[in-house]
Structure 1
Amino acid sequence: MGSFKGHALPGSLFLLVGVWHIWSAVVRYVANPKTFRVRVWNPVPGFDGRLKYLELYLIAIGAFIDMCIELLYSTHLKFFVNGVLNPSHMNDFEHSGMLLMFFIFGLVALLSEKTRLVPLPEGVLCFIAATAFCAEYLLFYFHSTTHKGLEGYYHLLLVLLIGLCIMSTLTGALLPTSFPVDLCSGIAITLQGLWFYQTAFTLYGPMMPEGCQIKESMVSCHSKDSEVRGELLANFQLFSLVLGVLVAVVGSYAFAASRYRHSELGSLHDVQDGLD
């Protein structure tokens, strides 16, 4: 059984990173399409470079804090019972492992960018990020906490969004000049963050579907029909989020093009019109 805060905190991190990734990809592309390159992280401009690595610090510090909450606070430091891992907190250990992977990605990326210890190319950083998403995917797919019924359906949709993050990140390493791939990666991360929030509000907040409730630390529905209605509601919620994000992406592209448009962007559109 999860909690509202347990979904809202990682949702906030994914949402912030995803929205920033979308905006940065759009601005870099409209500013100069010919020099566009896929980036697994995006520096923050201005402020004399003081906030350049803000995204990486957000990932590393955010994952570390969340990991400490899962591993130290949630377990109350009771790691072992009778010589084995505490079975009552297996889900906390699993969450910690997932968060550790994102912390490692943020730390390695910082070391790669700020030092000469591990000067890694962007493609390798994409693979490391994809590994972190793979760990998250395996966690939710083979979770020791058995998600059944409506709760299981919401987590199944989450697993699908994580899979999209894996594919788009890996493809970014293979197609390093593709704007659609980089944009898809930002969209997938954003949707994952939004779905964490949607799950928090629906299963552990005020948006619980009619006929369902939290009973004995589990989401249970009074009848099969109530559960089906809840699943249909989940489908509608995901569709609404996808539609909203796509509209926001188109709006951000139009806004960025009006402010940062490079002459090459217009010529590319003219060539495409000629081909059509």
Structure 2
Amino acid sequence: MGSFKGHVLPGTLFLLVGVWHVWSALLRYVLNPSLFRVRVWNPMPGFDGKLKYLELYVIVIGGFIDLCIELLYSTHLKFFVNGVLNPSHMNNFEHSGMLLMFFIFGVIALLSEKSRFVRLPDEALCLIAAMAFCAEYLLFYFHSTTHKGLEGYYHILLVLLIGLCILSTVAGAILPTSFSVDVCSGIAITLQGLWFYQTAFTLYGPMMPDGCELKDDMMVMCYSKDSEVRGELLANFQLFSMVVGVLGGVIGVYWFAASKYGRSDLGSSNAIQD
């Protein structure tokens, strides 16, 4: 059970961060492969350093806005019923917990960069980011909202992509000089954002498979087993197409970055690395 906006908003955040992560990793590598190191976040160059922490601000502000929507707007401030948590909004509470973890990661990363009291290496930030992805994984795997049928299948594929985000982020802490690990992390985040979009347009938008329908209670219902199977096969094809498209895009962007920036001098590479 969900909504179109409830999937598009987090999908947009993941997509923006993932695409920026891939581009930054490719650019830093082609500028100077020997000095390459994994970064869990990437500074924005130019503008006299005014937008250096833009990625972290997007994570913190975007996560906080989405957190407020889930915790305050969607629940209508009805947190408790008869002295216990409102069972009608358990999914909103769970989503809030996931968003809180990403918000905490962004705040810690900002403090690490801008405060002299909290200085953490990139490997430690990778592990903190992995903890946020783990919270997201557990949320969708042990969701209080029972996802059944076609809706459940889309969320199973989402859980697999989140698992890839966890593995690639942890690998970044273990292999801090691995270019492939850093790019894989960006690809995984990008795919997660795209899959949020695909779920929104398929289950709550105009791409609903034939034989399936979105009911008034926001539950997806397929009228026959064959219709449900066709929907699952369509989901497989959609994910496969996304993987091929993203990999093709990464290869194209790498070629562009190598041809345009591959001969930059060492001083420029150090500036981008910092």
Relative to the length of structure 1, the TM-score reads 0.95
Q: CA RMSD in A?
A: 0.9
In the alignment, which residue of structure 1 is the partner of 2:148? 148
User: Match of 1:207, SS?
Assistant: coil
Alignment of 1:62-211 (within 5 A): 62-211=62-211
C-alpha separation in 1, matches of 2:120 and 2:185: 20
Asked if the contact 1:172/1:181 (under 8 Å) is kept, the reply is yes
Q: Map Cα deviations across residues 234-270 of structure 1 (whole Å, 9 max, x no partner).
A: 0000000001100100000000001111489xxxxxx
Asked if the contact 2:25/2:183 (under 8 Å) is kept, the reply is yes
Q: Map Cα deviations across residues 38-71 of structure 1 (whole Å, 9 max, x no partner).
A: 0000000000000000000000110001000000
Alignment of 1:179-258 (within 5 A): 179-215=179-215, 216-258=217-259
Asked if the contact 2:5/2:200 (under 8 Å) is kept, the reply is yes
User: Match of 2:221, SS?
Assistant: strand
User: Match of 1:233, SS?
Assistant: helix
C-alpha separation in 2, matches of 1:217 and 1:155: 15
C-alpha separation in 2, matches of 1:37 and 1:217: 45
In the alignment, which residue of structure 1 is the partner of 2:271? none
C-alpha separation in 1, matches of 2:116 and 2:264: 36
Q: Map Cα deviations across residues 7-55 of structure 1 (whole Å, 9 max, x no partner).
A: 0000000000000000000000000000000000000000000000000
Cα shift at 1:113:
0.4
Cα shift at 1:222:
0.7
Asked if the contact 1:56/1:109 (under 8 Å) is kept, the reply is yes
C-alpha separation in 1, matches of 2:117 and 2:222: 54
User: Match of 1:220, SS?
Assistant: strand
In the alignment, which residue of structure 2 is the partner of 1:38? 38
Asked if the contact 2:210/2:227 (under 8 Å) is kept, the reply is yes
For residue 186 of structure 2, what is the amino acid of its counterpart? G
1:28 matched to 2:25 = no
C-alpha separation in 2, matches of 1:262 and 1:122: 27
Q: Map Cα deviations across residues 52-93 of structure 1 (whole Å, 9 max, x no partner).
A: 000000001100010000000000000000000000000000
User: Match of 1:213, SS?
Assistant: strand
C-alpha separation in 2, matches of 1:117 and 1:193: 34
Structure 1, unpaired ranges of 5+ = 265-276
Q: Map Cα deviations across residues 76-131 of structure 1 (whole Å, 9 max, x no partner).
A: 00000000000000000000000000000000000000111210010000000000
CA distance 1:223–1:25, change in 2 (3 Å): same
C-alpha separation in 1, matches of 2:58 and 2:212: 36
C-alpha separation in 1, matches of 2:118 and 2:174: 21
Cα shift at 1:214:
1.1
C-alpha separation in 1, matches of 2:105 and 2:228: 38
Asked if the contact 2:3/2:218 (under 8 Å) is kept, the reply is no
C-alpha separation in 2, matches of 1:77 and 1:261: 54
In the alignment, which residue of structure 2 is the partner of 1:60? 60
C-alpha separation in 2, matches of 1:105 and 1:31: 28
C-alpha separation in 1, matches of 2:6 and 2:117: 35
Asked if the contact 1:32/1:262 (under 8 Å) is kept, the reply is no
For residue 182 of structure 1, what is the amino acid of its counterpart? D
For residue 64 of structure 2, what is the amino acid of its counterpart? F
User: Match of 2:214, SS?
Assistant: strand
Cα shift at 1:227:
0.1
For residue 6 of structure 1, what is the amino acid of its counterpart? G
